[in-house]
Chains A and B, each alone.
Chain A
């Protein structure tokens, strides 16, 4: 080892690397919140305690003609159920008619926005990046969906077990298979992928369930569990946020499994 090496090692050892403020506390929290078990066990919930979550998924290609819309209702008493199935105009082609239909359909739940990719800006009225929803973290999946190509819709906040809980359904019509590793994190909102598991659906397709911390180290409502899955040849993405309680990953995964089951 050269004199220079010795000197540099000596300096390095003598220095205290500056840590960001609060780093140690957050590190400790992370350590304490490490799950005892992974998420690799598809399980059934004994009872669903969702007050009123709505998961809407669009089925059918949006190329031409009418499209099918399937509404899933997560109900505390009944679990996940298919609420209704109907047809609508493909929003990418006829957004105004679709929106009119959407409002008239009076679907259960609090679906606020439907946006076809390509029309997202127009639907939201302001550029995505300037939209306050983006600031709240809700717009990030919208933006990701926007980048990926496909369709996006958004649900509002619900109460689950007395806690704020958010559900977001994003539907993208991918041309290829389940997004490769890294797609989730291709967004621009600081996503960090934590875990990834495959879930065998009853229709023979494989769903991909991913946990991520959309909000990074902050108490974000979107420490989330996502699922990508295939039904009727269309690829879907469903997201459950946790209201800022990262320890609820398993709970989110359970809910996702119910959605997946309901789809098949």
Chain B
């Protein structure tokens, strides 16, 4: 849940808040969870929704850290872990990558959890793959 929230939000603290909110919502709506096999996707979807709502609220305030990508300085950064590289992806790509690679959801499940068409998931994944391919090359060198 934390990872899914963090993929949407730009700070650990916000991600934790979103998880807390998602936890309570899921608890209250637990009877709506249709089948155990889909519970994971359902929980991820709730978390993503909570995180997105929080992101909309947070968009009004920009922290100094958010300015970095705008002002430059990203180019020289080297990511030691895949997760660091994922967090540097644009938000839309970050979400699909996290759900597809980390949460092991299928394209369809990712689309459902993010409430976007499967085609959008694929195109975002493609773009993200391009960026991550570069990262992998750098990492190997």
Contacts and interface: CB of A to CB of B under 8 A. Distances in A.
Interface of A: 2, 4-5, 7-9, 11-12, 15, 17-20, 23, 26-27, 30-31, 34-35, 38, 182, 185-186, 188, 190-195, 213, 216-217
B104 A217 contact: no
A217 B16 contact: yes
B13 A34 contact: no
Interface of B: 2-3, 6, 12-14, 16-21, 23-24, 27-28, 53-54, 56-57, 60-61, 81-83, 97, 101-102, 104, 129, 132-133, 136
Contacts of B132: 4, 8
B16 A12 contact: no
A18 B12 CA distance: 10
Contact of A20 (B3, B16, B21, B61): B16
Contacts of B53: 182, 185
Closest 4 interchain pairs by CB? A12-B101, A20-B12, A11-B82, A12-B102
B96 to A, nearest CB: 12
A7 B53 CA distance: 32
Given A185-B53, A216-B13, A18 B19 contact: no
Given A38-B28, A195-B28, A185 B2 contact: no
A188 B101 contact: no
Q: Classify the secondary structure of B's interface with A.
A: helix
A19 B2 CA distance: 8
Contact of B83 (A15, A23, A182, A216): A15
B82 A8 contact: yes
Given A9-B104, A34-B27, A216-B13, A194 B82 contact: no
A30 B101 contact: no
A8 B102 CA distance: 9
A178 B44 CA distance: 31
12 contacts: A8-B136, A17-B102, A27-B2, A34-B23, A34-B24, A35-B27, A182-B53, A185-B54, A192-B21, A194-B24, A213-B20, A216-B16
A26 B20 CA distance: 9
Given A31-B23, A192-B54, A17 B83 contact: yes
B84 to A, nearest CB: 9
